[in-house]
Amino acid sequence: MNFLRAALHSAAISLFFFLGLRADAADLLNARVTNVPVDAACRVLTELSGENVVFIGDMKQRVSFELNGHRFDDAIGIVAARSSLLVRRVGNVSLLFDEQHRRIVEAIQERDSQRISLHVENRSLLWVVQAISRLSGFEIAYMGAPRSVQSLHLNDVPWEQLLDILAGKYGLRVERRKSTISLRDRS
């Protein structure tokens, strides 16, 4: 039964992606989303608007919302209000987060550095960190427990900010020492 519900949920999100409007950020968004994980809602907003939306919080949290000709800024505000989340714009990324993760988000600072785009589906976090290392040209080591990244779509983000986002989302800490950067589990 749970498998069938998950399959139907996945099909509904896929159909939603197909029906959604997509162009530049000035376009109006139309959508109806019912009882989906907030992380999936962020992917829906990213797909419809082309904007970067990342959720940092409880992956079990769910949300329902309807958009009828809303601009992106209004749409993300609606999702945040319906799921009791806070929103902060950092560079070109909109972060949705709960009160429990406020400190993590406050630690994410906008930096002037090389910007990268990264689109990942079903990869290990180690693979993602290695990709960031190659794209940035910096030695970055992942020293945490094995984790999977289901979906990550970010455009034109400073690579250091991307590391901070991953650290917040997966409960890691970023350590910078001389020429090496490492991501480790928080202990």
- The tally of domains found in the chain comes to 2
Q: Do 34 and 93 reside in the same domain of the chain?
A: yes
Name the residue range of residue 160's domain: 115-185
Q: Do 24 and 82 reside in the same domain of the chain?
A: yes
| Conformational region of residue 101, where left means phi above 0, alpha means psi within -120 to 50, and beta covers everything else | alpha
Which of 107, 130, 147 terminates a domain? The answer is 107
Which of 107, 135, 157 terminates a domain? The answer is 107
pLDDT score at 2: 45
Which of 59, 75, 107 terminates a domain? The answer is 107
Cα distances (Å, whole numbers) of residue 125 to 15, 41, 103, 122:
28, 21, 22, 9
pLDDT in tens, 13-53: 433 443 344 434 457 888 888 999 998 888 888 888 888 88
Q: Do 99 and 128 reside in the same domain of the chain?
A: no
The pTM assigned to this predicted structure is 0.53
Q: Do 119 and 98 reside in the same domain of the chain?
A: no
Q: Do 89 and 15 reside in the same domain of the chain?
A: yes
pLDDT in tens, 122-159: 889 999 998 888 877 788 999 989 999 888 888 888 88
Length of the chain: 187
Q: Do 132 and 99 reside in the same domain of the chain?
A: no
Residue percentage of the chain with pLDDT more than 90: 13
Q: Do 100 and 15 reside in the same domain of the chain?
A: yes
